[in-house]
Chain A
Amino acid sequence: MSSIPQALDALPILGILFQLLGYVLANLSVMSQTTVAVAVPITLAALCGVMCERSGVVNIGIEGIMLTAAFVGWMVGVGASAALGVGTPLPFFGVTLPLLLGLAAAILVGMAVALLHAWLAISVKVDQIISGTIINIGAAGITGYLYTLIASQAPTSAGSFAQYKVPDQVADLPLVGWLINAVLSQGPIGLSTIVIVIFLQVMLFRSRWGLRTRAAGEHPRAAETVGIDVIWLRYRNVVMSGALAALGGAWLSMEQTNGFNANMSAGRGFIGLAAMIVGRWTPLGAFGAALLFASATGLGTSLAIKPPTGDLGQLMAHVPGEFWEALPYIITIVVLAGVIGRSIAPAADGRPYERESAT
């Protein structure tokens, strides 16, 4: 495997590109694992966005929902393990009762915050951007506030979910071993994410719920004239999508690490929105975009930790690490600006629906 990059190095003109390819191949197994892991919260945030916007509701408060869920999951885990004891972890995924309680609480709270956004956006008919911004500000403030109060008492967290360990025989398979290893070396939330992606993709395009959702997001009045209750549909979808964002937040504080810091979500909610846009409002596309973004991050991290040698190394030394981190955002802007005149978002996205009065 390592002789190929050496051979390619010799080619003068495309040497740099092949060096890059070789670097990636050499570090593939580590990079791919990090990539899939980093993509998990982004994907979940993007899926939340897809569900909302497909129904016709813009939700930029995903960041706030994730942060709130991350905090609540951790906090309830702390409280539960203080009250019930940490307990012995089960063999798979290191599941303990406090962790489960924390997860459940995170999901419930995420749905509650989403309900607030739904109410503001659908019934009160506030501008949906403002509503989402309020949630973000509020989440940062309230979680920061509560965390400072709790942290002062040096709490012990409930721990975190453990990763699934792929058997060595599988991981060492030629060609696909690294892929399987990368995809499967995740905790329960990570693995669920991949399942949810496929599930949502199928549901959105083949089920009755998906058809009605898409209709409500494109042409709510047409949906009403065939008897669909657009308001109720939007409420339901937004609240359920809150569970997805909450899952992403829980991953942060209960799977990736076992603790909480202020502003832990660090913009993943917004990257998730970007992934949704680049993925053209489909679950699979969003997942692909999330992987794309995560790989940019992964590449950047890898380059910093294990810099390449030779010409590639010289080139990369001039590229600041921040470039890789900024890359997902730049890609999103380019995609958005490139879609000139054509709207690819659901047609009724962001516009509150006025039900025609029956009188």
Chain B
Amino acid sequence: MSERIIEFRDALREAMSQEMRRDKKVFLLGEEVAQYDGAYKVSRGMLEEFGPRRIIDTPISESGFAGMAIGAAMMGLRPIVEFMSWSFSLVAADPILNNAPKMLYMSGGQFGCPIVFRGNDGAGGQLGSTHSWCVEGLYSNVPGLKMAIPAFPDDAKGLLATAIRDDDPVFFLESERMLGLQGHVPEGDHLVPFGQAIVRREGTDVTLVSFGRPVHFCLEAAEELAKEGISCEVIDGRTIRPLDIDTIVKSVKKTNSCVVVDQSWSFGSPGSEIAAQVHAHCFDDLDNHVMRVHSADVPTPYAWNLEQEYLPNARRIAEAVRSALYVA
């Protein structure tokens, strides 16, 4: 492991810059990505290195620049589209959902769409309900796209590099709550393959499955539950599409118990999909039905205390684990 420690946002930039040096077809566009160094300073210094033809400031018009980038991808370039927040991608729903993931299929293989859409996803901290979208549930429903959701800086770099080299549209979900997170990140080329979950903590009593920021909530809950003698295995799924169900199934066959933690709303979500697949694959191994911890089924509250309670936090995860294990 690399000795170097950098922030999550630096890891994202390193992946983009290295891929841009490697492949001239790669370019970045979005609101404030160039002259302002990015609304969250992810693209700091990139305009200086790559110039205004490859680091492009766009107007506040997601539908326009996302559509333009999809056209560029169809013609052979490899755009990275930064949404300041995935909440703002909703106005670009038609190009990103109706064009990008279906292009290869609808053109009979004539046009691919090697594009990366990336930005902050989920509650950022008192941003109110319209700016706190978790798009996992909505977007992972669509066939033809891939979805990566890193939880640690090394995966932020490794998964983003893989996303840029991937020939399909990749929806890359970050979180402003994690951009300052520090960790060991390898220098040079670092690729993390899609569809390979990782066990973040080994345990024997229950399998916790999560993606992105809630992986940290799971680790926090596991720490707390260990004091009660409950041993949690925490799986970081890393990509939702493709989903590494094998790693999850292997763990559940060992623990006989599963709690899925997903920051999207529960109805029709990655959490409900994983629960269904675990029930199908592990029916004879389960001691209880798969439990799920999601964001509460309401628009994201603005008040700090309510927002904390709304999220799938460590306390709610611990309660679900006790319930799954029949510990009153």
Q: Do A and B come from one complex?
A: no
